[in-house]
Each structure stands twice: as C-alpha cells, then as structure tokens.
Amino acid sequence: MRSKDVHGFNYDGSWGTSGLDLWQHHDHGKMSVEIARGKQYFPGWNVARWWLSHEAHQRDPQRFLANFEAGLGIFAQHGILVMPVLFNRWRDPVCDFGGVPLDHLLPHHSAWTDVADLFVNPDAGDPVAAPVQGLFHRYLADVVGTHRDDERIYAWDLCNEPLMGRYIDDENSPVRKAELTWLTWCYRVSKDLGARQPLTIGNYPNVKALELTEPISDILGFHPYYMWNGNQDRLQTKTKDGFEDYLDQCVAIAERAGKELIANETVWGARDDATHVEVMRYTLTELTKRGIGYTVHALHHSLVADLHRDGWGPVGWPEWLHFIEADGSLRAGHEAFNEFAHQ
C-alpha cells in the first residue's frame, strides 16, 4: 500500500492511563469491541498506529508478546494493517504516557558504579553489554525480529516524537547527539534483524525534526497538527498559513529524499464537537490536496492523555482528540471522516 492510500487511526485502549498501565492490564475483550466499533463507524479505516510499551515487555516479555500477537489478529480480522509504535519520547506534563528517559541515553550520565554508560555509541564496542541497550535489543528482537516479514504490519514506527526540545536547533548539543545516536541504533538493529517492512519515525510538528530523521526513515513520518488554540510565538502551525507552509516544507523534504510521506498523527483536539469536526475537515482536506495519507489521533476514548473528557481525568492543551466516546457512541458529526476515507 502506498502511503497516500493510508486512511486510519491511532489506537490506545480505553482501560489505561499510560503505556505501561495499558499493557500490564491488557484487556483483549475491550480491545476487540473497540476495534470493531471503529471499523463499523469508519469502514474505510485501513491502517492502525498502535502504541506499544517497551516497559511492559521488560517486566513480562511472554505476556506482552502474547497480547501483541492477539492484537495483530484483531486488526487483521477487520482488514486493518498495523503500524506499531515501538518507543516513545513525547512526555506529557499533564498525563504522562511513559517512554524512554533522556538520562538513559546520555553518555556519562549513569550513577551505576559497574558500567560507564547505560547506552553506548554503537560504533564503540559491544552495545548489548550496556544495560539499557541490552533491554532495548531484546525488545526489538522479540517484536521486530519475530515479525520481520509479517504481512499484517504496514510499517514500524521506531519512536514517537523524539528530539522534542530546543536543543534540536543546537548542532553541538550532547542531548541531540545522544538521541540521534540512539535512533540510528534502533534503525540499524531493526534492519539487522531482517525487518522487511518500512521503518519510520513519528516527528512532532517541526521541520528540523523531519530533516534530522530523514536518513533513518524509509517512509517519512510527521505530525501535522493545526493547533488552532495555540498561542506560543514559536509555534508555526497555530495559524492556517503557518500550517500550510509547514506541510509544503515537509513535502519538499520528502521529494528531495525520494521518499513517501505519511501523517501518522494528525487532527488537533477540541472540547466542542463542531470545532473538532471543523479542524478535521480542514486538516484532512489539506493533506489530501498534497497526496498525504494519515492515521488520525485517535480512534477511541481512553484514559491516556488527550483522549477523554474532563470527567475522566486530567485534560491538557490539546483538549479532546478521541472520535468514539466511552459509551461506544460517535462524537457528533465525526462521521465526516468517511468523506475522506472511502472504502
């Protein structure tokens, strides 16, 4: 499938507040119901970006892998390919999802007495001997290696929203260097494990992030959010003109690289249903004009950040991004997604 033909959703189960919570208390029955609801409401849904948890794998590998396999089966029953999100670097101050801490990646940052670093430069010796690297290598081997030619998987998203700090613009930043070293290692390991599916990285709305991760992406992944309620001066996509300019810059990067481009997270949230539908229509219209496929964030009510009404827990700046409510009903007007995602 070409990336321009992707019309889908991100998916996090409704029962957890974080990645670790979701996967430690995985509910196969609820997942089955929620995916079936999504396909019923949106028959053209063909790819799911499904968030995993390397922390849950670390605690109980066999249980995690069994749940991952079962979930792939649920999506397959509905004709939906999967883009698993392997790692996460987006850290939310209101309702954190969990993920990889920077202090696990920075050199000379470990307080351990018996190792120099938790993660080492892949070119500087045996990386699997470093504690964090060993855990990550085992996770990649169990997930990517075991499913390296699984036709149910559309692509692997190596990491959600890395490089999310002002250090991204500093070529001399040790943080930037460490994070890019780690991402490059993830890419190399996945290739060495024989992954036949494309590898991508889900970049937050920043042109520099897409440029820096282009060399280690088979498909370029980005998160075009028209942030209608934004007020930060540095925020390019808070206006429609800025959003459209951002899209055009990302398309140009992909064209220069000769690679496909996918919006694997998009459509900013809103408490008001009509506002959310308006944002969706505008966003998907602009993506469709440029031949960009998408997996909207997100399908279903969940206790994780930004996917629930105020009564269900903390709500941050993006407000409500979910399409299906906790009771299984569709938010008013949200069938408009079907105007863009045809069967």
Q: What is the pLDDT of residue 65?
A: 98
Q: What is the pLDDT of residue 107?
A: 82
Q: How far apart are CA 156 and CA 178, in angstroms?
A: 21
Phi, psi dihedral angles at 220 (to 5 degrees):
-80, 125
Both structure tokens of 33: 């119901």
CB 298 within 8 A of CB 48: no
HSE on the CB side for 260, CA within 13 Å?
Answer: 19
Q: What is the pLDDT of residue 72?
A: 98
Q: In Å, how far from its chain's centre is CA 279?
A: 20
Q: What is the pLDDT of residue 124?
A: 52
CB 199 within 8 A of CB 183: no
Q: In Å, how far from its chain's centre is CA 319?
A: 18
* 329-332 contacts, C-beta under 8 A, 24 or more apart: 330/41, 331/273, 331/276, 332/273, 332/274, 332/277
DSSP string covering 200-226, please? EEEE-S-HHHHHHHGGG-SSEEE----
Q: Which of 209, 184, 211, 212 is nearest to 199 (CA)?
A: 184
**Residues in CB range of 312: below 8 A, 6 or more apart:** 301, 303, 326
Q: What is the pLDDT of residue 234?
A: 79
Q: Which residues of the chain have pLDDT under 50?
A: none
pLDDT per position as a tens digit, 288-336: 999 999 999 999 999 999 999 999 999 999 999 999 999 999 999 999 9
